[in-house]
């Protein structure tokens, strides 16, 4: 551009502005378009294709379904999900360098724990949606009236309209929210309850009986289940098994029961399955569930392989464990008003009465009893063969005997106020006062007899007179 006839002269600012204004006048202004309405909104609101959406934006004429639909799409429904590289892909490198293998194993353990925590974090939504206490990887423990986590304190937690409160590691779930006689469960991840994960795998149990898996299930449901109807029907059981919601201990127990009706079965297979069930219900006592009770009940109905005693040695301790596990998950409490699914409420009722039958019939068969016929402990119960007792242990013995007598008073309090039928909130004021006066009289008697021991143990216990015929080992010699 020349200025003042001189081709070498530089343009002035005025000349520059004039030339730019001429260029702007030649441009057409972009037509106004509202941000609330995009070109592709008119033809498909949920088109996941990025190419088609871009076509509708960049090409002004492509604003109809016919114009945009002709654009080739890289996928048909939704964007493909990116997959992370599996830790096993580095297996060759791990073989060359042992350090890498240990690191990969550590990463796998961390990944497994992270997955468990992620699944456990949804416990609140799961319990509300499913209304069940049978969730793989978690344990629900029933909170009784005398629990360390008192139900009348738990009801003051900020549930905020939901049925669960807490974190993934500790969740309080209210199954029955009412002023009197509420029902609460505390839930924990299994890996926080000293559980031994991986004691045996479900696939391992299946492989032991293949290819007779379906046959054994049919035998169990045709011969065993009608007499002990504590499981779902066959179709529901197979669906749960396919979804990995049946523990290996229960599946092994089902196989054991069915093998008794199958002639010509290898004895070693029976023995291995029985050991798996026994180990399973023992470990699962730390993380009990309805499945644990079912596996234990089925196992207790199976006759021993080598009958040495008529009372089935070891079955009574398992029965006692069964009763304790059932109470820990709340089977002894009436679930009819609880916020549980109808199927679980029915299952809980069936299981508790089955446990009750197991307990009572084993009592009469083995002459066991939950009562006792012993007098209170005395000093002489702790003497040696020559009637002597170490003077340094005398104070501890006296305190121990006193504590056993106090436990009798505590038993009276529990029987009167902390049973599922006779809880304090179900008694009238007159009944509560009458029972309380009885317990108070027992406590007063105990305190009168043992006040000196517990008020000043340091000075009083040392002054307790020696027991009759007391001799040390040195004097006896």
**What does the pLDDT read at residue 277?**
93
Q: Are strands 183-189 and 138-143 parallel, antiparallel or unpaired?
A: antiparallel
pLDDT of residue 81: 59
Q: How many CB atoms lie within 10 A of CB 297?
A: 23
Domain ranges across the chain: 138-192
- Report if pTM > 0.75: no
pLDDT of residue 475: 42
pLDDT (tens, 9 = 90+) of the chain, 477 residues, equals 555 555 445 455 555 555 555 555 555 566 665 655 555 444 444 444 555 555 544 444 544 555 555 555 555 555 555 665 554 444 454 445 555 556 566 666 655 555 544 444 455 555 445 578 888 888 898 887 666 677 777 878 887 777 888 888 888 888 887 767 788 888 888 888 766 655 457 888 999 998 999 999 999 999 999 999 999 999 999 999 999 899 999 999 999 999 999 888 888 999 999 999 999 999 898 889 999 999 999 999 998 877 666 667 788 889 999 999 999 999 999 999 898 999 999 999 999 999 999 998 888 777 677 778 889 998 888 888 777 777 777 888 888 999 999 999 999 998 888 877 766 567 788 888 898 999 999 999 999 988 777 765 554 444 444 444 444 433 433
**Planar angle of CA 133, 119, 198, nearest 5 degrees:** 80
**How far apart, in Å, do the first and last CA atoms of the chain sit?**
132
Q: Which residues of 434-458 are buried (b: 16+ CB within 10 A; e: fewer)?
A: ebeeebeebeeebeeebeebeeeee
Burial of residue 139 (number of CB atoms within 10 Å: 0-12, 13-18, 19+)? buried
pLDDT at 476: 39
| pLDDT of res. 82 | 61
Q: Give the pLDDT confidence score for residue 117 in this predicted structure.
A: 47
């Amino acid at each position: 551009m020349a200025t003042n006839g001189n081709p070498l002269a530089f343009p002035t600012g005025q000349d520059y502005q004039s030339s730019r204004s001429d260029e702007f006048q030649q441009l057409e202004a972009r037509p106004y378009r509202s941000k609330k309405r995009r070109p592709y909104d008119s033809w498909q609101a949920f088109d996941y294709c990025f190419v088609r959406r871009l076509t509708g934006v960049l090409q002004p004429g492509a604003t109809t379904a016919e114009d945009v639909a002709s654009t080739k799409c890289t996928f048909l429904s939704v964007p493909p999900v990116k997959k992370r590289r599996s830790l096993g892909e580095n297996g060759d490198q791990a073989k060359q360098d042992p350090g890498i293998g240990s690191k990969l194993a550590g990463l796998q353990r961390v990944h497994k724990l992270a997955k468990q925590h992620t699944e456990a974090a949804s416990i609140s939504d799961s319990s509300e949606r499913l209304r069940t206490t049978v969730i793989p990887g978690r344990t629900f423990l029933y909170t009784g009236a005398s629990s360390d986590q008192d139900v009348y304190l738990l009801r003051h937690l900020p549930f905020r309209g939901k049925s669960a409160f807490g974190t993934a590691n500790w969740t309080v779930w209210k199954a029955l929210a009412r002023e009197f006689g509420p029902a609460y469960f505390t839930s924990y991840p299994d890996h926080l309850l000293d559980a031994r994960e991986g004691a045996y795998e479900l696939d391992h149990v299946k492989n032991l009986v293949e290819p007779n898996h379906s046959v054994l299930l049919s035998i169990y449901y045709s011969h065993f289940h009608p007499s002990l109807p504590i499981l779902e029907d066959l179709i529901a059981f197979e669906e749960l098994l396919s979804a990995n919601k049946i523990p290996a201990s229960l599946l092994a127990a089902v196989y054991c029961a069915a093998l008794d009706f199958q002639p010509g079965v290898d004895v070693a297979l029976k023995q291995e399955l029985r050991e798996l069930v026994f180990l399973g219900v023992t470990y699962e006592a730390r993380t009990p569930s309805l499945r644990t009770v079912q596996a234990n009940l089925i196992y207790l109905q199976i006759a021993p392989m080598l009958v040495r005693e008529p009372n089935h040695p070891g079955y009574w301790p398992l029965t006692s464990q069964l009763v304790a596990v059932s109470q820990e998950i709340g089977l002894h409490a009436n679930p009819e008003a609880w916020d549980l699914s109808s199927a679980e409420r029915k299952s809980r009722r069936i299981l508790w009465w089955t446990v009750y039958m197991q307990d009572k019939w084993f009592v009469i068969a083995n002459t066991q009893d939950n009562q006792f016929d012993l007098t209170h402990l005395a000093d002489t119960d702790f003497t040696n063969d020559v009637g002597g007792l170490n003077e340094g242990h005398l104070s501890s013995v006296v305190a121990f005997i006193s504590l056993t007598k106090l436990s009798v008073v505590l038993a009276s309090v529990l029987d009167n106020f902390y049973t599922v039928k006779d809880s304090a909130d179900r008694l009238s004021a007159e009944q509560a006062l009458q029972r309380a006066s009885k317990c108070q009289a027992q406590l007063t008697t105990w305190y009168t007899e043992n006040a000196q021991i517990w008020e000043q143990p340091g000075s009083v216990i040392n002054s307790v007179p020696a027991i009759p015929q007391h001799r040390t080992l040195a004097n006896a010699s």
